[in-house]
């Protein structure tokens, strides 16, 4: 299996605030990886850094940022643009705001085609119609001239997906593709994305805050907290035997697991911000298993048997391993 994407020790800093802090991530060709975390955990920023979309005060540092044999850190801006949007593309959150309200659906989809693949206008139009029917929009010929405000949320998300797969990317990044949608539409969109992934053999990175969506769709899960990867595990194991206390606490807080109780277990405290980043393990003030060592020593991210975890005392069957 060839590695399509390799990120090693990626950090993104905004004015001294580390939004992403030492993230490692690798995606194999044709694989599906899920990233979960609460808001502010750096899941989107990691992917934006990969796409080269970090705005001005942001500084990107990485030991390695490789996409399919090309080093994204060393490439010229022009070269890089020829990769992003073509080989790597992204579906953004909130379809209603990500589409440009001033242009028709056809214009917006064919824009990417024009830049990356050229061709005549007729060819592009044909391809747009083909794409729209691939993402399940009925009567695509009639939809070419519609503007985003004429579409429902589910339909706009389908247009976003059509745009993202226009140039047959090898890696598709879906950033909270279903958060703004209703459950039944969410199911349709997820099914569509997974279906396209299978058909085109794309690699897919699915970013979401919804544990259940991850559980039902992906093979490998990466859990992020305060800009760091705290656990990487297969989705079979992570939901039954989480290794990091944060993952465990998050899963316990789900209403689904507490149907008949009168109280939900919660995680005390808040995600650390710019000024209250604790020493040692970033999660220790909120961790119920924390020991003295957690307060003082920063835990290293270590990988063993394809399970990665950033914790001094990783859990085995829910019990922390104090040596």
Partner 1 sequence: MTDVDTTQYPVIKAENLKKYYPVSQEGFLKKPLSLKALDGASFTLNKGKTLAVVGESGCGKSTLARLITMIESPTEGNLHIGGINAVGNKKDKKILRRKVQIVFQDPYGSLNPRKKVGTILEEPLKINTDLNASQMREKALHIMDKVGLSKEQYNRYPHMFSGGQRQRIAVARALMLNPDIVVADEPVSALDVSVQAQTLNLLMDLQDEMNLAYLFISHDLSVVRLISDDIMVMYLGRPVEQGDKNVIFEKPLHPYTMALLAATPHVDVKSRQKRIRLSGELPSPLNPPPGCTFHRRCAYMTDICKHKPPHLREVANRMISCHNAEKLINNSH
Give residues in contact with partner 1 (CB under 8 A).
38-39, 152-155, 182-188, 190-191, 209-213, 215-216, 239, 249-251, 253-259, 262-267, 270
Angle at the Cα of 89 from the Cα atoms of 88 and 90, rounded to 5 degrees: 135
Q: Rg of the Cα trace of the chain?
A: 21
Shortest distance, CB of residue 175 to partner 1, whole angstroms? 16
Q: What backbone torsions phi and psi does residue 28 show, to the nearest 5 degrees?
A: -85, 160
Shortest distance, CB of residue 26 to partner 1, whole angstroms? 25
CA 52 to chain centre: 15
Shortest distance, CB of residue 169 to partner 1, whole angstroms? 25
Measured from the CB atom, is 191 or 219 closer to partner 1? 191
CA distances 46 to 80, 173, 228, 257, 320, Å, are: 17, 11, 10, 30, 29
Shortest distance, CB of residue 12 to partner 1, whole angstroms? 21
Is-contact 42 19, C-beta < 8 A? Answer: yes
Is-contact 59 229, C-beta < 8 A? Answer: no
Measured from the CB atom, is 115 or 254 closer to partner 1? 254
Shortest distance, CB of residue 88 to partner 1, whole angstroms? 26
Gap between the Cα atoms of 251 and 236, Å rounded = 14
Gap between the Cα atoms of 20 and 190, Å rounded = 27
Gap between the Cα atoms of 88 and 92, Å rounded = 13
Measured from the CB atom, is 63 or 236 closer to partner 1? 236
Measured from the CB atom, is 39 or 305 closer to partner 1? 39
Measured from the CB atom, is 30 or 136 closer to partner 1? 136
* Location of structure tokens 């104090």: 322
Shortest distance, CB of residue 124 to partner 1, whole angstroms? 28
Give the other-Cβ count within 10 Å of 150's Cβ.
12
CA 266 to chain centre: 25
Shortest distance, CB of residue 264 to partner 1, whole angstroms? 4
Shortest distance, CB of residue 302 to partner 1, whole angstroms? 25
Measured from the CB atom, is 10 or 160 closer to partner 1? 160
Measured from the CB atom, is 7 or 159 closer to partner 1? 159
Measured from the CB atom, is 167 or 253 closer to partner 1? 253
Gap between the Cα atoms of 50 and 11, Å rounded = 11
Is-contact 247 292, C-beta < 8 A? Answer: no
């Amino acid at each position: 299996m060839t590695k399509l994407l390799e990120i090693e020790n990626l950090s993104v800093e905004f004015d001294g605030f580390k939004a992403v802090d030492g993230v490692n991530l690798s995606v194999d060709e044709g694989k599906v990886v899920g990233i979960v975390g609460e808001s502010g955990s750096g899941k989107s920023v990691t992917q934006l850094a990969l796409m080269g979309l970090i705005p001005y005060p942001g500084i990107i540092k990485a030991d390695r940022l490789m996409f399919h044999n090309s080093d994204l850190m060393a490439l010229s801006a022009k070269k890089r643009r020829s990769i992003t949007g073509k080989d790597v593309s992204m579906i953004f959150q909130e379809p209603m705001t990500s589409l440009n309200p001033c242009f028709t659906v056809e214009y917006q989809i064919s824009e990417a085609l024009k830049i990356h693949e050229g061709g005549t206008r007729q060819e592009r139009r044909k391809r747009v119609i083909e794409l729209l029917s691939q993402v399940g929009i009925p009567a695509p010929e009639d939809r070419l001239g519609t503007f985003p405000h004429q579409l429902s949320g589910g339909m706009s998300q389908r247009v976003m997906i059509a745009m993202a797969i226009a140039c047959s990317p090898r890696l598709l990044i879906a950033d909270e593709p279903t958060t703004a949608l209703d459950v039944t539409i969410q199911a349709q969109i997820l099914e569509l994305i997974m279906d396209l992934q299978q058909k085109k053999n794309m690699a897919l990175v699915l970013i979401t805050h919804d544990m259940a969506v991850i559980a039902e769709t992906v093979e490998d899960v990466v859990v992020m907290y305060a800009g760091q990867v705290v656990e990487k595990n297969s989705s079979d194991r992570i939901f039954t035997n989480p290794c990091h206390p944060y993952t465990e606490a998050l899963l316990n807080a789900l209403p689904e697991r507490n149907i008949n109780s009168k109280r939900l277990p919660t995680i005390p405290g808040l995600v650390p911000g710019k000024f209250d980043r604790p020493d040692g393990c970033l999660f220790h003030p909120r961790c119920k298993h924390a020991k003295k060592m957690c307060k003082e020593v920063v835990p290293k991210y270590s990988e063993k048997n394809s399970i990665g975890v950033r914790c001094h005392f990783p859990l085995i069957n829910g019990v922390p391993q104090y040596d």
